[in-house]
Amino acid sequence: MFYYFTLWRRDGLDQRIQELLRCQVREKAGRLEDPSLVIIDTQSVRAVAGVPKTTTGLDANKKVSGRKRGLAVDVPGLVIGVVVIAASAHDNAASTALLDQAAERCGMREKTLVDQGFKTEVLIHGTCWTSASRPSAATPAIRAKGFVSQPKRWVVEQVNGALMLHRRLAREYDHRTDTSASRVYWASIANMTRRLTTPSPTWRDTLQLAA
């Protein structure tokens, strides 16, 4: 089975299926194939003992030893791009690659949202494809104490949480980073397949279940 998995990864079949299903899910939801807004974020994931040290590192901020998984998603929470790097690498390394992937697959976009962990380098790189923006330190939402939800930024966090429900993605088990990225695509494919085959409940169904 891993033999075919490797062939499909090298051929890019996982990414092609991902793109086809993403367009179908967006069309089913009444949206255009290409999103006008993309959200980017990274997540540090612990690696198991067998993962090579050359592809892992320590995220000093989050105190996580392993790899950093970068995602680019649209507003419905569909994965557009995936980058897996060492956790010790800066978020800029993942975000610039994600911006390039999003531009290749979605073309020009109106806006890309990132958090304050991304530096000016990302904003400069993002202006080549889109209007990249991050929350300003002068906004009242950032000055407030405790957790403050930012509009649309929570979508990528929700996608990260859903991917962690897949056992193979709860830790970094793979020796190669491209294999790890491929597993994210296949997990996303499984989630989108359920979206396409499972009918969405209406408000009447919700009321009946509550009763």
Res 134: pLDDT: 57
Q: How confident is the model at residue 55 (pLDDT cuts 50, 70, 90)?
A: very high
Quote the CA–CA distance of 177 and 82 in Å, as a whole number.
11
Tell me what pLDDT residue 106 has.
83
Radius of gyration for the alpha carbons in the chain, expressed in angstroms and rounded:
18
Q: Does domain 2-210 have CATH number 3.30.70.100?
A: no
CA-based nearest residue to 173, from 67, 37, 28: 67
| pLDDT on residue 190 | 94
Residue 202's pLDDT is: 59
Interval 156-182: pLDDT, tens: 999 999 999 999 999 999 999 999 999
Q: How far apart are alpha carbons 131 and 154 in whole angstroms?
A: 19
Q: Given this model, what pLDDT does residue 96 score?
A: 86
196 compared with 126, residue with greater pLDDT: 196
Q: Report the C-alpha gap between 202 and 58 in whole angstroms.
A: 45
DSSP 8-state secondary structure symbol assigned to residue 150: P
For 80, phi and psi rounded to 5 degrees?
A: -110, -45
Residue 92 clears pLDDT 90, i.e. is over it: no
Assess whether pLDDT exceeds 50 at residue 136: no
* Residue 149 identity (one-letter amino acid): S
Q: Of the given ranges (80-84, 98-102, 139-143, 204-208), which has the lowest mean pLDDT?
A: 139-143
Over residues 175-211, the pLDDT tens digits come to 999 999 999 999 999 999 998 997 766 556 655 655 5
Q: Give the pLDDT score at 116.
A: 66
Spans of all domains in the chain: 2-210
Q: Rounded to whole angstroms, how far apart are CA atoms 41 and 118? A: 9
7 φ/ψ angles, rounded to the nearest 5 degrees: -60, -45
Q: Classify residue 47 by burial, with Cβ atoms within 10 Å: 0-12, 13-18, 19+.
A: buried
Average pLDDT over residues 45-60: 93
Quote the Cα angle for 84-86-89, to 5°: 105
* Alpha-carbon gap, residue 90 to 92, rounded angstroms: 5
| pLDDT for 141 | 36
